[in-house]
Structure 1
């Protein structure tokens, strides 16, 4: 796949230092300071693209520049540790490192306020109660009645719950990808994580058709909430609700079925 430089144009010179890095002709430590600068600048657009994708799943309070800064550190980490002899493309390896660094920064930021955490906890409890009593998902009206929250607070809490679960699933995905990249060096860990992937995949098949579609569109096709709502012809609030209840089911069922093994 052709990669664009910072100006958005394809680069194809035979002496491009990033090509030497990708094909294993040189390691990061072997390049001059000028070449390192050129390599970092060449891959910089990837950081912004990944940051924008992640930002679309997060509250407005999370600054894009914070994600980009964290991603830049992830890129430098990838450049310093990349080994072409492992047979992994740098494009794949660096993307994992960049996204992982962004997720680490989000966890460090702890962007849930105390008040928001309380709302999320109350909504989770209310959702479980309604599901236990009725066998179906909770409506906004039911959540308002059980929690005493306003419609605005319920929607804010559901969005926060959705964002929290997005982060958890994305983090899980990055860990899986990272372990897959270590097959040669850590065969036992790689096998263990593959078993987890297989278990989660089987649990997804137990979701309702609409829940599976939301998971597929959001994570497989990487559509945002608005785009997913348009495809499914439902409101963004309903998409968020389906997404939250799907991840809650996955987490609950996984714990009940496998964590005691």
Structure 2
């Protein structure tokens, strides 16, 4: 178990590792299902699960015997392993990235011109694109922010490569609670459904009666607010 004066981690036997891998395999499957809905089949789902399981194994070897806090630690490692592979493969086609950057620059120019955040209808009209194209743009924009919340958690814990101490866990939890309180009710629901209940954007959109793109937008805005709160703490 993680702990002790020297922070040592007891080495698990192969049999113990296999037992825990089986026990936490559903966590890997949930994370893969969620991420797979956002990356449009960029990596085969079975391959994504294998990458996630390797992340889980790494988490076990860093953490030691799982306890009540292991699930949160493992989730970061599993998601991190999959996201690292997605980034390594540069899975977004060049043309998609270029179009996304062009639209982003246009939205920024419109924002400066209006002196405020433009409404979705204003953006669509100004850019001369369809509502469907704008939704695709929002999804593409969000893809670049996929790991934002995980990175916030890892920054808060300080040492992402080791299991957090109970004191670190408490400090991170309090900081996140404070950051969440700074969000409006709808943003809080999006963050909770996405990161706690691991729902996909499509599922959240159905619950809140919104478009997938709007859910992406809310999530991105919420993460920006939370990051600003955590950095100023």
Q: What SS is found at the alignment partner of 2:142?
A: helix
**Residue 144 and residue 80 in structure 1: after superposition, are their counterparts in 2 closer, same or farther (change >3 A)?**
same
**Residue 38 and residue 243 in structure 1: after superposition, are their counterparts in 2 closer, same or farther (change >3 A)?**
closer
Q: How many residues align?
A: 223
**Residue 73 and residue 258 in structure 1: after superposition, are their counterparts in 2 closer, same or farther (change >3 A)?**
closer
**Residue 91 and residue 143 in structure 1: after superposition, are their counterparts in 2 closer, same or farther (change >3 A)?**
closer
Q: 2:33 and 2:197 mapped to 1: Cα distance?
A: 15
* Higher relative contact order structure (alpha carbons within 8 Å, sequence separation ≥ 6): 2
- Uncovered stretches (5+) of structure 2, i.e. residues with no partner: 3-9
Greater C-alpha radius of gyration: 1
Aligned to 2:37: 56
**Residue 50 and residue 129 in structure 1: after superposition, are their counterparts in 2 closer, same or farther (change >3 A)?**
same
Q: 1:43 and 1:206 mapped to 2: Cα distance?
A: 33
Partner residue of 2:146 out of 140, 151, 166: 166
1:115-154 pair list within 5 angstroms: 115-132=95-112, 133=114, 135-139=116-120, 141-154=121-134
Q: 1:161 and 1:70 mapped to 2: Cα distance?
A: 24
Q: 2:60 and 2:26 mapped to 1: Cα distance?
A: 15
- Uncovered stretches (5+) of structure 1, i.e. residues with no partner: 1-20
Shift in Å, 1:129: 3.9
**Residue 89 and residue 109 in structure 1: after superposition, are their counterparts in 2 closer, same or farther (change >3 A)?**
same
Q: Structure 1 length as normaliser, TM-score?
A: 0.63
Q: 1:37 and 1:209 mapped to 2: Cα distance?
A: 41
Give the CA RMSD over aligned residues: 4.1
Aligned to 1:6: none
1:165-244 pair list within 5 angstroms: 165-174=145-154, 176=156, 179=159, 181-183=163-165, 190=168, 194=172, 198=175, 202=178, 204-244=180-220
Aligned to 1:5: none
**Residue 241 and residue 77 in structure 1: after superposition, are their counterparts in 2 closer, same or farther (change >3 A)?**
closer
Q: What SS is found at the alignment partner of 2:165?
A: coil
